[in-house]
Structure 1
Amino acid sequence: MGDDQSFDFSILERIGAPFRHFDAGEKIFLEEDAANAMYMVRSGRVDVITYGTVLENVRSGGIFGEMALIDDEPRSAAAIASEPTEVVAIDKPTFLAVVRDDPQFALMVMSLLAIRLRRMNKQI
């Protein structure tokens, strides 16, 4: 998911998912933090970083931190707002509610995971 795919944020607003604002340079989460939600960028840009390397720039409509919904492990990377950014936090109950409302959302998340896994495989 990224700039080329649109997402109807009204679904998240309707079910009361919390929106959060971050200033440029502000941390959203750090590596090894406890994880209980994924995030979707409503506006701005987020850098996903590990060991000082930017793994991905996530823009409006993009998601990050989705592994939190799959395993209960600590964060494997950090997420930092690279410009003024608004995100929506999506915990497991919210994710399930969105999927009930828009089943394609689950496929978009799985597609993103597959893309990221394929990219990592090429780097090995």
Structure 2
Amino acid sequence: MAYPVSDFIAAKIGENSSAERKDGMSVNSEVTINGSSNLYDIIRFNNKGCVYGITLTGSPGFYDFVLSVDAQGPEGFFSGAGYLAFTDKSGDTYKLSIYSSTRSVHTVRYNSQQPEIVKIEWSNT
């Protein structure tokens, strides 16, 4: 399913960086950064780890919102993990660690009065 985009701005791409969107990522949208949907060129971890896509959707049930992150962690024994942090408009931060080097969709479920994501951070530590 294709979603409308929420474009974030990153001053630096690659490992250990961040991207921001002042008005926040809309619910039922997907992330682009600096106008690009090729997040694997922008959100990088060490040893070929990267993020391919991020979407924010509403969810029925206990948690009202779901961040879906299509990603793979670093390759190789003792290569560590990729770490993501998402901050919403209320100032709450939600963290995700990606250890597996197999590409898959990871989720972060949360409740918030201001669910729009305003900052995405990524690092190897």
Asked if Structure 1 and Structure 2 have the same fold, meaning a TM-score greater than 0.5 normalized by the shorter chain, the answer is no
By percentage of residues, which structure has more helix?
1
Give TM class, smaller chain: 0.3 to 0.5
Return the TM-score normalized by structure 2: 0.32
Return the TM-score normalized by structure 1: 0.32
By percentage of residues, which structure has more strand?
2
The one of the two structures with greater contact order (alpha-carbon pairs below 8 A, sep at least 6) is: 1
